[in-house]
Amino acid sequence: MEACEEKRQEPAVDPRIEGIASSIRVVPDFPKPGIEARGFIFGPPIALAIGAKFVPLRKPRKLPGEVISEEYVLEYGTDCLEMHVGAVQPGERSLVVDDLIATGGTLCAAINLLERAGAEVVECACVIELPELKGRQRLNDKPLYILVETH
């Protein structure tokens, strides 16, 4: 009897990821005042695809009605996120989606807002991670899914 050697196969890499990575454009001195909400490009289609509701988290004074807010620190100053009161219910499971994780300030603020409302944040997902800024380490062991690391 011959001993058989088990062949290990590497997981298939989605060819679209290379296309995304090669399309990322670096804009010097970005972000600039007034530019925000890039995560909105990704959040609604993901929510639709998984059969979940989409809950917008926005900068101050962008949402109508009663909101709760969370201040946070960024690599270039401080900011605030707001969410509608009653947008999530206690015990609901949440996925936080954003375009980029740098220092982790925005994701941490989003997690705090959702958890203050009683939601369970089960994962975060970003298109781009800037690992040298160590934002992942601020997420209190929340799983983080990313498509592309840039340096």
Catalytic residues: 38, 75
> Residue 50 is encoded by which pair of tokens?
């998984």
Plot region of 122 (φ>0 → left; ψ -120 to 50 → alpha; else → beta) = alpha
Q: Is residue 20 within 8 Å of residue 127, measured between CB atoms?
A: yes
CA neighbours closer than 13 Å in the CB half-sphere of residue 136? 12
